[in-house]
């Protein structure tokens, strides 16, 4: 009998498998319907021997010391600060918009203070910021919004920024200095030997059994377990009882080119041209040396694997119905980007999984306490010894 059946071997499922197996000595079966672990963070060496991310570029960044230290148990790191250029008006300019973006775009040589004044002069006064259009227009005005955000967002999400929650475009800041990093988090690094290697180390424990190519529907009635941790789409778990939660999908077109370097930056965004949103050159992320180079083009799609929950009010309302049901379902725990319908980055999913682990252990400790005879005032010797014993890694 397994203590836990974990559905999905991405960050959410693998962190929980690792904690439950190594810290709580639980027997875990982790399954995935795909033929690999690591979920959307999966990377592999392609036919030319170049390390690529199958499901698009994954750049690790976090402000959480706890999350970074936790993952450091399973990987060494390659320091890496991400940079992006956007193709606008026939030029490649830094994205997020910064001092150099404005100067290059308009052929100016403003300083930080002057750029600040310029942005203030074009920014629109929007009393209540609700949508992804409001966020940008209130900071950089309509013209820059149209050049950098409007069409990219329409392409990526299949809807206008005015129909999306403000949290979507809020992910990309505006700067008046020359900082051209995509992220400013305290910890920014790539797993030195890739994500999949890191996941292999997380799941390498005698208490963890991994079963791939397996949809949970196929085994749920045959394999005995006590509790489920579910990291797939929450609406699917409940047979779409309240209707389908909308997700946005992508098609990834991978290519290997017979040149050493292809792009002027690790990622180039194309807000206004092409059907794809961006191109990524993997060697720039991983630091791998190779005479050829591999890139991926991302083509947004309505149908296909669910990659992005779509943040907007009506979807949040529908999700809240599923959330209520999820909370009322005993012995099933929902965690991760699909199961909690949150546009989360990897570090946020790790943090969410670590929090659930804490909750699960508190719950089992409470159950243990409840079983104890009421008279025992002080801890027994065995308990004292156990509590002094070094924790299992």
Q: Are 10 and 41 in contact (CB under 8 A)?
A: yes
Binding site partner of 39, from ligand UDP, ligand FAD, none, Cβ cut-off 5-8 A by kind: ligand FAD
Which token pair is 200?
């292999």
Residue 15 CB, nearest distance to ligand FAD (Å)? 8
Binding site partner of 196, from ligand FAD, ligand UDP, none, Cβ cut-off 5-8 A by kind: none
Binding site partner of 169, from ligand UDP, ligand FAD, none, Cβ cut-off 5-8 A by kind: ligand UDP
Phi, psi dihedrals of residue 30, rounded to the nearest 5°:
-110, 130
DSSP three-state, residue 67: helix
- Encoded one letter per residue, x for contact with ligand FAD by CB under 6 A and - for no contact, window 255-284 reads ------------------------------
Q: Is 5 in the site for ligand FAD (CB under 6 A)?
A: no
From 387, 34, 70, 59, select the one nearest 210 (Cα to Cα). Answer: 34
Q: Which is closer to ligand FAD, CB of 163 or CB of 305?
A: 305
Phi, psi dihedrals of residue 212, rounded to the nearest 5°:
-100, 175
Binding site partner of 15, from ligand UDP, ligand FAD, none, Cβ cut-off 5-8 A by kind: none
Instruction: Tell me the C-alpha distance between 40 and 47, whole Å.
Output: 20
Which of 34, 147, 312, 333 is in the footprint of ligand FAD by CB under 6 A?
34
Q: Is 97 in the site for ligand FAD (CB under 6 A)?
A: no
From 175, 182, 183, select the one nearest 101 (Cα to Cα). Answer: 175
Which token pair is 172?
């990309």
User: What part of residues 202-231 is at the interface with ligand FAD (CB under 6 A)?
Assistant: 215-216, 231
If one counts every other C-beta atom within 10 angstroms of the C-beta of residue 175, the result is 19
**Which stretches of the chain bind ligand UDP, using CB under 6 A?**
86, 95, 148-149, 152-153, 156, 168-169, 171-172, 269, 271
Q: Which residues contact 376 (CB under 8 A, 6 or more apart)?
A: none
From 92, 181, 89, 82, select the one nearest 144 (Cα to Cα). Answer: 89
Residue 83 CB, nearest distance to ligand FAD (Å)? 13
Phi, psi dihedrals of residue 289, rounded to the nearest 5°:
-95, 135
Q: Is 296 in the site for ligand FAD (CB under 6 A)?
A: no
The residues that bridge with 334 in the sheet, in sequence order, are 230
Which of 21, 346, 356, 360 is in the footprint of ligand FAD by CB under 6 A?
346
Q: Are 140 and 123 in contact (CB under 8 A)?
A: yes
Instruction: Tell me the C-alpha distance between 141 and 123, whole Å.
Output: 4
Contact segment (CB under 6 A) with ligand FAD among 86-94, 135-143, 260-268, 343-351 equals 343-351
Q: Is 33 in the site for ligand FAD (CB under 6 A)?
A: yes
Q: Is 232 in the site for ligand FAD (CB under 6 A)?
A: yes
If one counts every other C-beta atom within 10 angstroms of the C-beta of residue 86, the result is 25
Residue 344 CB, nearest distance to ligand UDP (Å)? 10
Q: Are 137 and 73 in contact (CB under 8 A)?
A: no
Binding site partner of 269, from ligand UDP, ligand FAD, none, Cβ cut-off 5-8 A by kind: ligand UDP
Contact segment (CB under 6 A) with ligand FAD among 36-44, 115-123, 173-181, 197-205 equals 36-44
Which token pair is 39?
């979920």
Binding site partner of 168, from ligand UDP, ligand FAD, none, Cβ cut-off 5-8 A by kind: ligand UDP
Q: Is 307 in the site for ligand FAD (CB under 6 A)?
A: yes
Residue 319 CB, nearest distance to ligand FAD (Å)? 15
Residue 367 CB, nearest distance to ligand UDP (Å)? 39
Strand runs labelled E in 247-376: 247-257, 267-269, 278-281, 293-301, 308-309, 332-334
Instruction: Tell me the C-alpha distance between 218 and 184, whole Å.
Output: 44
Binding site partner of 97, from ligand UDP, ligand FAD, none, Cβ cut-off 5-8 A by kind: none
Instruction: Tell me the C-alpha distance between 381 and 393, whole Å.
Output: 23
Which of 50, 57, 98, 198 is in the footprint of ligand FAD by CB under 6 A?
57
Footprint on this chain of ligand FAD (rule: CB under 6 A): 7-13, 31-34, 39-41, 55-59, 215-216, 231-232, 250, 307, 336-338, 344-347, 349
């Amino acid at each position: 009998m397994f203590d836990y059946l974990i559905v999905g071997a991405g960050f959410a499922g693998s962190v929980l498998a690792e904690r439950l197996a190594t810290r709580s000595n639980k027997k875990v079966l982790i399954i995935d319907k795909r033929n690999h672990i690591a979920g959307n963070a999966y990377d592999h060496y392609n036919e030319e021997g170049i390390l690529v991310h199958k499901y698009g570029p994954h750049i690790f960044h976090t402000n959480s010391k706890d999350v970074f230290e936790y993952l450091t148990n399973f990987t060494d790191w390659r320091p890496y600060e991400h940079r992006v250029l956007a193709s606008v008006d026939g030029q490649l300019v830094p994205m997020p918009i910064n001092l150099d973006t404005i100067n290059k775009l308009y052929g100016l040589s403003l300083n930080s203070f002057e750029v600040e004044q310029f942005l203030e002069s074009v920014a629109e006064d929007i009393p209540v910021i609700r949508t992804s259009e409001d966020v940008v227009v209130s900071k950089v005005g309509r013209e820059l919004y149209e050049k950098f955000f409007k069409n990219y967002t329409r392409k990526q999400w299949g809807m206008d920024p005015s129909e999306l929650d403000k949290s979507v475009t809020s992910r990309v800041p505006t700067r008046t200095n020359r900082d051209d990093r995509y992220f400013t988090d305290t910890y920014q690094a790539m797993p030195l030997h890739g994500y999949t290697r890191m996941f292999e180390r997380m799941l390498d424990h005698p208490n963890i059994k991994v079963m791939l190519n397996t949809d949970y529907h196929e085994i749920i009635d045959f394999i005995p377990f006590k509790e489920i941790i579910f990291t797939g789409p929450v609406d699917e778990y409940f047979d779409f009882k309240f209707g389908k939660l909308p997700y946005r999908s992508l098609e990834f077109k991978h290519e290997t080119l017979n040149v050493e370097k292809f792009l002027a930056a690790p990622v180039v965004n194309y807000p206004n041209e092409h059907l794809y949103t961006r191109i990524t050159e993997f060697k720039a992320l991983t630091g791998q040396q190779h005479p050829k180079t591999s890139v991926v083009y991302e083509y947004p799609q309505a149908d296909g694997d669910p990659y992005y929950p779509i943040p907007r009010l009506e979807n949040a309302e529908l999700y809240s119905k599923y959330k209520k049901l999820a909370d009322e379902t005993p012995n099933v725990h929902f965690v991760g980007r699909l199961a909690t319908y949150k546009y989360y980055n990897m570090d946020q999913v790790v943090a969410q999984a670590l929090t659930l682990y804490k909750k699960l252990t508190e719950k089992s400790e409470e159950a243990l306490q409840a079983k104890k005879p009421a008279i025992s005032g002080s801890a027994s010797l065995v308990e004292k010894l156990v509590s002094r014993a070094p924790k299992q890694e």
